[in-house]
DNA sequence: AAATAATTTGAGAGCGCTCCCCAAAAATGG
DNA sequence: CCATTTTTGGGGAGCGCTCTCAAATTATTT
């Protein structure tokens, strides 16, 4: 049986309160007493009991990372590993712990029911001090609930509500840069494979595409816009549907979809970039590994994760700080071979 | 302020104990009372407070997934995403929660200190009911500690201790199959890029390699054995060192390393499989995406994760069940183009 | 030296839940 | 119909910690 505060107190010849003060770095303890207590703590290997502490302080030091929806695919996308790394790192750095809430991908059918259950269990039972939400569609029920329950949360992405804090990248500008790059290379029939249009990132990247075309005075051919789902499979399927309309360039709203599109193009006997230029989004490691290497829009995924956590911890530790916290990070166009750099 | 047990009890006109019984499905409550209590619970949205419950029951319903060491790279390997998915799924299915403990990859220097801290914080403070450990080197200090503290744990991999429970794949046989396949194709100068040799999987796969050669009466040329670290970079570097010895085939102990080797080979002007045959291990999605598609040894990664969790939960819920729990899953050779299937 | 202020310590009351134990009520049996 | 068993509900004592408040001690000021 591990020792309790009480026992440490007895051994050190002081009261519970004093040990508590020592453990929690309260100032008003005589140095010699403090040292004596530390000595006992060291010898006994005392460690405060998390649950007891949480019960008294009403804080758990646990942050949740919630990725709603049935997301088989989302997890084959390295985007998540990278985000997770950022999140985990920031948690470590600030002595918070990380609880991961994914949702079963096996049965999409009951996924909402499960999500509901998890929400109850995890959030209402106060396991978490706050949460980071990523990759949720805009109409996900989690947002209204979080707001109603006044759970501190930060979104990786965006949500149109005054009390929503978020960290996002400038998807519109990123997408516009990508498409403008294609335009500069002389393309006019530029197609796009969008992300899911119920997600902010999906919408924004499409918006960037539209803006770029508009800026160049090119009218949008709606047949060149096909909705994907951020997965490789989705990219393949979307590209399949685009083929009949013979685009000379394709902007895919994620690298995974670009890779899918690449395969479909190749299977159709088209060469990239010679016959069709291709640009992705994310700059995941795979982007530079495929053949040809993918021109893409880099977003600082890891940083997105760690900033979200830091914002959240700021919220948790200074609740009085009013105002909403929002950060938008820049993107960067990474030119590789897949877009076919032509002579000026 | 969310309602407490006490308040629910008052509203339902019963005592705390009765509500507790209802919530915890204890039998001895009259159906009509039970229904009345449920009704109040529903109306008030009551949810038991996790910390209070944990304090009383000494269980948290949280499982930890621990991936020790500074693992930048490990997380670019989809292996982890897939494992994580298995783990998360199993947790969801059994109403456990998942806490993720990674270690900062930024500063390798203080990684052991951090690991120590985390160990204290997470395990000794009883945040977790039990843990799943993956990808730990055999000499990782976590194993003796877990054993000493009697923390219930399951390893994904293996550890030579009588009280160590684990889930593993048959790495020796898997590797042997891979190498024997190359032997059957007529190769004799078969090199191997091993995993880290302080990890079980690294050792076992090397052992499989040796066994295959031995079975065919081919003596091992130690210059054809180069240690890698499971990363793509490591694979590149290892292949670089192998080039001078002109192997006609290479068995890489992970797909990521195989991909790295592939690039080095290509840069050296060698064609795969024509000049050098290549076999990997894991069968991550990338394996079928590279050119040429990788012949590899498939291991059921996701299942590994979920079985580990299920074993652990079994341990937690039936502590009396004596005996050690060990599962070894089979592997399967997946033949694709990279090994160059020759005519019989 | 006395009075006041500041610092250090301890006692006690929770935090919200579980679970043991006993009383009341209901069911059973002779 | 009363004694006995079984079911049902309630009271209370924790689980291990924090935190307020007041007492005790020490330092500072007049």
Residues of B in Cβ contact (< 8 Å) with A45 = 124
Instruction: Identify the pLDDT of residue B30.
Output: 85
Whether omega for the bond prior to residue A273 falls within 30 degrees of 0, making it cis, is: yes
Q: Which residue is nearest to nucleotide C10 (CA to C1')?
A: A15
Cα B59 from Cα B130, distance rounded (Å): 10
Separation between Cα atoms, residue B60 and residue B279, nearest integer Å: 44
* H or E element, residue B193: strand B190-194
Strand D-proximal protein residues, Cβ less than 7 Å: A 1, 4-6, 16-17, 20, 23-24, 46-49, 52-53, 55-57; B 13-18, 27-30, 33, 52, 55-56
CA pair distance A115, A117, nearest whole angstrom: 5
Distance CA A157, CA A171 (A): 10
Instruction: Report the nearest residue to nucleotide D10, CA vs C1'.
Output: B15
pLDDT at B215 over 80: yes
The pair of structure tokens assigned to B42 is 């529903």
List all nucleotides in chain D with at least one atom under 7 A from a protein Cβ.
Answer: 7-12, 14-20
Do A126 and B50 count as a contact with CB atoms less than 8 A apart?
A: yes
Packed helices A5-12 and A16-23: angle between N→C axes, nearest 10 degrees: 110
CA atoms within 13 A on the CB side of A45: 11
Taking contacts as CB-CB distances below 8 angstroms, the residues of chain A near B122 are: 97
Contact at 8 Å (CB) between A287 and A293? yes
Q: Tell me which of A73-82, A230-239, B14-23 is least confident.
A: A73-82
Q: Return d(Cα A314, Cα A336) in angstroms, integer.
A: 39
User: What would the mean pLDDT of B253-264 be, rounded to a whole number?
Assistant: 96
Cβ atoms within 10 Å of A191's Cβ, excluding its own: 26
Distance between CA atoms of residues A259 and A292, nearest Å:
10
pLDDT in tens, A83-97: 998 999 999 899 999
Q: At what angle do helices A50-57 and B50-57 cross, to 10 degrees?
A: 140
How long is chain B?
344
Q: Which of B207, B118, B168 is nearest to B326 (CA)?
A: B168
Its sign, for the CA torsion A75, A77, A78, A80, is: negative
Pick from A127, A232, A291 the residue to mutate for testing the B interface (most B CBs within 10 Å).
A127
What average pLDDT does range A249-253 have in this prediction? Answer: 98
The CA–CA distances, whole Å, from B11 to B30, B45, B47, B205 equal 17, 13, 15, 64
Contact A121 B289 (CB under 8 A): no
Which residue is listed with tokens 């009013």?
A: A322
- Spell out the residues 6+ positions from residue B212 whose beta carbon is closer than 8 angstroms to its own: B175, B176, B178, B179, B180, B183
With beta carbons under 8 A apart, name residues in chain B contacting A291: 291
Q: Do B81 and A85 touch (CB under 8 A)?
A: no
Contacts of B315 (CB under 8 A, 6+ apart): B130, B152, B154, B165, B321, B325
Nucleotide nearest to A2 (CA to C1'): D16
Number of other residues whose CB lies within 10 A of the CB of residue B333? 17
Q: Which ranges of chain B does DSSP label H, i.e. alpha helix? A: 5-12, 16-23, 31-44, 50-57, 78-93, 111-118, 142-148, 171-184, 200-215, 232-242, 255-267, 285-289, 301-317
Question: Which tens digit of pLDDT belongs to each residue from A11-27?
Answer: 999 999 999 999 999 98
Distance from CA of B184 to the nearest CA of A (A): 31
Nearest to B100 among A2, A100, A106 (CB): A100
Strands B332-334 and B295-298, how do they pair? antiparallel
Say yes or no to pLDDT of A277 above 60.
yes
Position B344 scores a pLDDT of: 37
Residues 6+ apart with CB under 8 A from A130: A63, A64, A151, A152, A153, A154, A312, A313, A315, A316
Judge whether residue B104 has pLDDT over 60.
Answer: no
For the cut 50, the answer to whether the pLDDT of residue B143 exceeds it is yes
Contact A100 B93 (CB under 8 A): no
Task: Name the packing angle between helices B5-12 and B31-44 (round to 10°).
Answer: 120
What is the C-alpha to C-alpha distance for residues B333 and B210, in angstroms, rounded to an integer? 17
Interface touch B285/A100, C-beta < 8 Å: no
- Kindly tell me if the per-residue pLDDT of A344 is higher than 60: no
- Mode of pairing for the β-strands spanning A190-194 and A225-227: parallel
| Upper half-sphere CA count for residue A143 (Cβ side, 13 Å) | 21
A63 has pLDDT over 60: yes
In the predicted model, is pLDDT for residue A121 greater than 60?
Answer: yes
Residue B170 has pLDDT above 80, yes or no: yes
- Separation of CA B10 and C1' D4 in angstroms? 34
Give the residue on A whose Cα is nearest the Cα of B125. Answer: A49
In chain A, the N- to C-terminal Cα span, in Å, equals 75
Computed on alpha carbons and rounded to an integer, the radius of gyration of chain B in Å comes to 25
Which is nearest to B331 in space by CA: B299, B303, B304?
Answer: B299
Cβ–Cβ below 8 Å for A49 and B126: yes
The model's confidence at residue B117, banded by pLDDT at 50, 70 and 90, is confident
- Which of A240, A147, A159, A152 minimizes the C-alpha distance to A199? A159
Other Cβ atoms less than 10 A from the Cβ of A69: the count is 20
Q: Residue B159: name the closest of B149, B167, B151 by CA.
A: B167
Q: Hey, of B68, B97, B151, B293, which one would you mutate to test binding to chain A, going by the most A CBs within 10 A of its CB? A: B97
Contact assignment for A55 to B51 by CB distance below 8 Å: yes
DSSP B223: G
Q: Per the CB < 8 Å rule, is A78 touching B82?
A: no
Instruction: Read off the tokens for A34.
Output: 């403090």
Give the residue from chain B lying closest to A259, CA to CA.
B289
Of B76, B125, B286, the CB nearest to A48: B125
Who among B52, B105, B120 is closest to A47 (CB)? Answer: B120
**A127 CA to chain B: closest CA distance, Å?**
6
DSSP for residue A297: E
Quick check: B259 and A289 CB within 8 A? yes
CA A16 – C1' C13 distance (Å)?
14
CA of A42 to C1' of C16 (A): 31
> How far is B208 from chain A, CA to nearest CA, in Å?
29
Other beta carbons within 10 angstroms of residue B315's beta carbon come to 18
What is the predicted pLDDT for the residue at B72?
Answer: 55
Contact yes or no for B127 and A97 at CB 8 A: yes
> Token digits for A85?
């790394």
Q: Which nucleotides of C are covered by protein (CB under 7 A)?
A: 7-12, 14-21
Cross-chain CB nearest to B47 (options A62, A84, A120): A120
The residue with tokens 């204290």 is: B120
Q: Using the beta-carbon criterion (under 8 Å), do A92 and B118 form an inter-chain contact?
A: yes
Q: Quick check: helix, strand or coil at residue B224? A: helix
Position B284 pLDDT exceeds 80: yes
Whether the CB-CB separation of A79 and A156 falls below 8 Å is answered with no
Which chain B residues are closer than 8 Å to A290 by Cβ? 289
Q: Show residues of chain B in contact with A303, CB under 8 Å.
A: none
Q: How confident is the model at residue B343 (pLDDT cuts 50, 70, 90)?
A: very low
Residue B33: is it exposed, middle or buried by C-beta count within 10 angstroms (0-12/13-18/19+)?
A: middle
> Among residues B97, B8, B18, B13, which one has the least CA distance to residue B48?
B8
Q: Which of A220-229, A231-240, A319-328, B333-342 has the lowest mean pLDDT?
A: A319-328
How far apart are the C-alpha atoms of B237 and B257, rounded to whole Å? 9
**Measured CA angle at A87 (ends A86, A90), to 5 deg:** 85
Query: Using CA atoms, how far apart are residues A258 and A77, in angstroms rounded to an integer?
Result: 12
A191-232: per-residue pLDDT in tens?
999 999 999 999 999 999 999 999 999 999 999 999 999 999
DSSP 8-state class, residue A229? -
The nucleotide minimizing the C1' distance to residue A55's CA is C15
Q: Which residues pair with A225 in a beta bridge?
A: A192
pLDDT score for A343: 38
Average pLDDT value for chain B: 90
Q: Rounded mean pLDDT of A36-60? A: 95
Taking only the tens place, the pLDDT of each residue in B299-335 is: 999 999 999 999 999 999 987 776 778 999 999 999 9
Phi, psi dihedral angles at A179 (to 5 degrees): -70, -40
Q: Which chain A residues are within 8 Å of B124, Cβ to Cβ?
A: 2, 45, 47
Using a 10 angstrom Cβ sphere, with 0-12 exposed, 13-18 middle and 19 or more buried, the burial of residue A33 is: middle
B106: left (phi over 0), alpha (psi -120 to 50) or beta: alpha
What's the Å distance between residue A16 CA and nucleotide C1 C1'? 37
Span B133-156, average pLDDT: 92
Chain B residues with CB inside 8 Å of A124's CB?
2, 45, 47
pTM of the full structure: 0.91
- C-alpha span between A50 and A96 (Å, rounded): 12
């Amino acid at each position: 049986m591990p020792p309790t505060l009480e026992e440490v107190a007895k051994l050190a010849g002081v009261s519970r309160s004093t040990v508590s003060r020592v453990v929690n770095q309260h100032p008003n303890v005589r140095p010699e007493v403090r040292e004596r207590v530390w000595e006992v703590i060291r010898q006994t290997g005392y460690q405060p009991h998390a649950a007891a502490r949480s019960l008294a302080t009403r804080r758990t030091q646990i942050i949740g990372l919630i990725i709603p929806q049935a997301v088989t695919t989302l997890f084959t996308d390295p985007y998540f590993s990278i985000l997770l790394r950022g999140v985990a790192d920031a948690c470590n750095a600030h002595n918070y712990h990380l609880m991961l809430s994914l949702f079963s991908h096996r049965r999409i059918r009951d996924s909402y029911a499960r999500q509901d259950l998890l929400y109850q269990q995890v959030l209402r039972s106060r396991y978490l001090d706050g949460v980071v939400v990523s990759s949720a569609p805009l109409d996900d029920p989690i947002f209204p609930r979080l707001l109603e329950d006044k759970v501190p949360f930060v979104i990786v992405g965006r949500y149109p509500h005054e009390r929503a804090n978020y960290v996002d990248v400038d998807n519109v500008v990123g997408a516009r840069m990508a498409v403008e790059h294609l335009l500069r290379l002389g393309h006019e029939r530029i197609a796009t494979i969008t992300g899911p249009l119920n997600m902010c990132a999906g919408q924004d990247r499409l918006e960037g595409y539209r803006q770029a075309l508009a800026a160049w005075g090119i009218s949008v051919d709606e047949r060149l816009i096909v909705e994907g789902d951020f997965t490789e499979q989705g990219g393949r399927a979307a590209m399949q549907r685009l083929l009949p309309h013979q685009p000379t360039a394709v902007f895919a709203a994620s690298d995974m979809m670009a890779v899918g599109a690449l395969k479909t193009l190749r299977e159709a006997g088209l060469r990239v970039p010679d016959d069709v230029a291709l640009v992705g989004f994310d700059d995941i490691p795979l982007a530079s590994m495929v053949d040809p290497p993918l021109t893409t829009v880099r977003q600082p995924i890891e940083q997105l994760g760690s900033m979200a956590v830091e914002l959240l911890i700021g919220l948790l530790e200074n609740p009085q700080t009013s105002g909403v916290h929002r950060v938008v990070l820049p993107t960067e166009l990474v030119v590789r071979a897949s877009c076919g750099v032509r002579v000026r």
